[in-house]
Structure 1
């Protein structure tokens, strides 16, 4: 009994050991066998999809109809597939992943876009409000009042007393005719006094008092700052000599530098608001009086002159102020958040959000920027949605896939005529937008012959051209690739 039990236990143990070993060995053999077995065809994937075209990721604007080596870079062309039958000119992102990418959308809105430009200005004298005091006749300075340049004076403030000896004879003759009572001669004598430079007030005083008045007191004609005083007691002055200059303070100027990008929104008569550190809490309203014609070539700014009222005289030249220039156009415009606009230096793009998580680049013509908003003059419609955050990731993906935004046709004259590069080829396909050519080499570009798809510069080029024709054509090269500018049949047609 005991011997039988031990035999059974021994048999079970050996079987278990072999079973364990066999269980360990069998999977390994299966795995090794799978490595030697040819891979079975999987589900229909990228290998079975038809490529729409091939492109160079470093130069995605140009399309090729077959694989090969890029003529631009030392690398193989990459195929572009139709993504699940969808639009090949868009990037598809699973809507569940947009939050992970930090993407935000904004709606293209329409409304009045008010702008406000904040600049710093410095007060200066109003050069139009200047009074010059001159002597109308020769004389001698008998007295100079206690004045000095820089003094702020009221109108009719005395500056100096002048003795004019030549007035004596004319005044005696005037008084004699007055006593005779000849009105005609008296009027002629009064006119003579006026021509000698005698003020009307002094003539009236002579006529009223009946005595000769040879002294003239020079006064300031306006309120303001005495800028010059060129008289000294005892000096001799000549007729027409400038004795003093007074600059008014009833209003002052302020010159501000406006960036040239904002210069188009500044107009004469525009209302501004100035805030001075010297007068906290006080806002002074002024107007744009002049847009000066010169531009600073170093700072690329335009000088704008603002006129501010100064009835109490508190504003003095040299004070600085923070100036806010407000402008609001009555015309309704489309606008998007400024962060949604991708500026490449040559053009501006936005990533347009479409249905089913698709996005595509769209070229736009931006207008003025203000308060985080950018006006869109061309390229979008109201109610569309654009990507305002995370658009650079989508733009990078679009570039890698060779997706290029259609060029926005703007009526901007070209400064120079682009160089044209000629070649011969045969038409493999053509429509009003692009042409497929099997062409020879471009010697001026160093590009070998190949089959490529070229955009047509304008649809009229396809007139009279059909598939199979041999053609001579010329292309221009820019940031968007090669564009056919000239297309005509060659003489060696079949």
Structure 2
């Protein structure tokens, strides 16, 4: 070798070390002693029970559960690539533990909010029947609540002195042939809920009727019948209500944590115990503006079509509100997340039998998946089975952080030229190129040579 020839070696520079305490590992020009030391067979540090990491022995044997103890070796330098807490498990042990993994998914999250509710009348179509005058119910055509009625069907006959007087006023105005009095008398009769047909008949026959029949303004079913024949009624009394069942409302409540997901127009599915196997599809019709202060729940009004009248008021229903997230998000299986009171973690599968427990920040939770806000990338793989055992071992030394492309690495690899060898001090002077990861320029530095490297082989 010419005196001008310089040996090119591989160096690793640790971020936490100064120039005088950096490590050098032999690349070229070694006599092979370092490789022989590296290839020496490692001995286990101890043996541990597969299901109890606290059960340790200094020799092979059986665990209290009758399982073979697993040897634990000193962590290799390859584990340092993934930071503290990375553990390596032999392939046959991974198989015996039943370790299963699943890739992280980036997709829209389907959130299904489950709750219960009660079927109610559509109050937009629910009308209440009130008298406009004092009087007595002479005849009641509707005998019981729940009876169906048609539009224009007679409901009740009322005797009222006020209605008799209003008819007489019209007859007096007709007799005087005073157009303004006639118009005023007709308007009063209309205000008292007398139909246009009744007014025309009175104008034609000129005969006052002592009792007047009132008719249903819409088709539906009777609800809340509160009168009987002979009752004395006043304008403040509600005689009955008529509701329609073509559409129904369902009143439901959702927990406060789900309030931000509820919006008008969201699709809803509903099932009832009395008709198992059948589903009804509806929408969120209205979200009430206030929370219940005692139950901390938000009222939601849902709307369903009811063409066959199968949905009946006061029925108990199971509700699922489907709230889909517009943007894609990182999702993991629900079983992959280890949830504690102060921290949420997952176990990353790093490849080649290596695993590490890391901290994550979770978002929404649905039946099968959990949203991950921080801690995972799209191409990660997480452990979904036997992760508690791996987590217990990794947690002993883990910093619960992961290496990402944006983080500054603890060490970098590069090549350099040996300028001089100081064998007595086990040091060499090396010129190396720039370290882009640390934003370092080209430098000339002194390095301490590792003990396993034959310093006499360096020139």
**TM-score (normalizing by structure 1):** 0.58
Q: 1:404 aligns with which of 399, 404, 413?
A: 399
Q: 1:144 aligns with which of 128, 137, 140?
A: 140
Distance 1:313 1:209 in 2: 44
Q: Which has the greater radius of gyration?
A: 1
Contact map agreement 1:398 1:404 (CA 8 A) in 2: no
Distance 1:200 1:391 in 2: 80
5+ residue gaps, structure 1? 1-42, 48-56, 59-80, 408-430, 434-494
Q: 2:105 aligns with which of 106, 109, 121?
A: 109
Contact map agreement 2:190 2:196 (CA 8 A) in 1: yes
What are the Cα deviations for residues 164-202 of structure 1, in whole angstroms up to 9, with x where unaligned?
Answer: 233444434423443554433432332344455644443
Distance 2:387 2:98 in 1: 10
CA deviation after TM superposition for structure 1 residue 113, in Å: 2.3
CA deviation after TM superposition for structure 1 residue 285, in Å: 1.6
Contact map agreement 1:130 1:247 (CA 8 A) in 2: yes
The higher relative CO (CA closer than 8 Å, separation ≥ 6) is in 2
Contact map agreement 2:357 2:395 (CA 8 A) in 1: no
What are the Cα deviations for residues 394-440 of structure 1, in whole angstroms up to 9, with x where unaligned?
Answer: 2111123x213149xxxxxxxxxxxxxxxxxxxxxxx9x9xxxxxxx
Partner of residue 77, structure 2:
84
Distance 2:76 2:293 in 1: 53
Give the count of matched residue pairs: 336
Partner of residue 390, structure 1:
386
Are 1:354 and 2:350 an aligned pair?
yes
Larger mean Cα displacement after TM superposition, 115-124 or 269-278: 115-124
Partner of residue 123, structure 1:
119
Contact map agreement 2:148 2:222 (CA 8 A) in 1: yes
5+ residue gaps, structure 2? 1-39, 45-52, 55-73, 403-407, 411-459
Partner of residue 265, structure 1:
261
Distance 1:123 1:343 in 2: 37
Contact map agreement 1:104 1:388 (CA 8 A) in 2: yes
**Alignment partner of 1:147: what SS?**
coil
**Alignment partner of 2:391: what SS?**
helix
Are 1:317 and 2:313 an aligned pair?
yes
Are 1:134 and 2:130 an aligned pair?
yes
CA deviation after TM superposition for structure 1 residue 342, in Å: 1.1
Are 1:165 and 2:161 an aligned pair?
yes
Distance 2:235 2:190 in 1: 14
**Alignment partner of 2:398: what SS?**
coil
What are the Cα deviations for residues 11-42 of structure 1, in whole angstroms up to 9, with x where unaligned?
Answer: xxxxxxxxxxxxxxxxxxxxxxxxxxxxxxxx
Partner of residue 332, structure 1:
328
Contact map agreement 2:79 2:87 (CA 8 A) in 1: no
**TM-score (normalizing by structure 2):** 0.62
What are the Cα deviations for residues 443-468 of structure 1, in whole angstroms up to 9, with x where unaligned?
Answer: xxxxxxxxxxxxxxxxxxxxxxxxxx
**Alignment partner of 1:229: what SS?**
coil
